[in-house]
Homo-oligomer: A and B are copies of this chain.
Amino acid sequence: MKTLNGQADCRIPLNRDVIVSRAIAIADTEGVGAITIRRLAQELNVTAMAPYRHFLDKEDLLNGIAEKLLANVNLPETAPRTWDQDLALVFDQLVAALRQHPSVAELVLTRVLLTVSGLTLAERVFQLLTDAGFEIERVGQIGGYALNSLVALVTTRPGTVANPNPEIRDAILRKKRASLTSLSPREYPNIVAAADTLVSCTDDDAYYALGVKLVIEGIKGVRSDLSDQTDSIL
């Protein structure tokens, strides 16, 4: 049996997971923009059309990536906790899963309801919000807000750049920091002062803990309004 380049066949059999894993590996080192069907085919030693046996189109491939990311969310056991504690645990797990491959986390933003693991996650979040006393329209909106905010938290974490190649990455960050520190301290005192923390993250765990807390506290704040006044403006 011969392959494209006439050498011994060292291909692993093609399937969705092999292709998706390879796509994630590409994004991890070169950014999500480096994922192309042709590139994938080349790295897997097949022709450009071979992946289409396993995916409808590129959109389907991107859905597959989102699915694989969300499959890594370990939903905690249901236990006798308060709804906000449970919610925080679920959000922690989502963040933990997205942090593993921040370069593809953005793909999740519009695909939670398109994947089975995303549906499972959303259902759990919605259930906890229902438990908290929100009506179903608010449940959808608040649940969506929470998931979106957490995804955005990961994709826009200070220090994140489109191209994760170490050298290019550092050069981009140095340049970005320079452009912020070179701003007028009279016009932009706070931005100049925050330049360092806007360009890199000293403590990832603290950053994500703060993000989850912001989401949880936001929901608690909206809820207390709900119980305080029956004729809420919401």
Interface set of A (CB-CB < 8 Å, partner B)? 109-110, 113, 119, 122-123, 126-127, 130, 136-145, 148-149, 151-153, 155-156, 158, 176, 180, 183, 187-191, 193-194, 197-198, 202, 206-207, 209-211, 213-222, 225, 233-234
Contacts and interface: CB of A to CB of B under 8 A. Distances in A.
User: Interface SS of chain A: helix, strand, loop or mixed?
Assistant: helix
A142 B218 CA distance: 13
Given A152-B151, A188-B119, A209-B234, A197 B140 contact: yes
Nearest to A215: B218
The quantity of this chain's copies bound in the complex is 2
Contacts of A153: 145, 148
B123 A144 contact: no
B149 A156 contact: no
Contacts of A222: 210, 213-214, 217
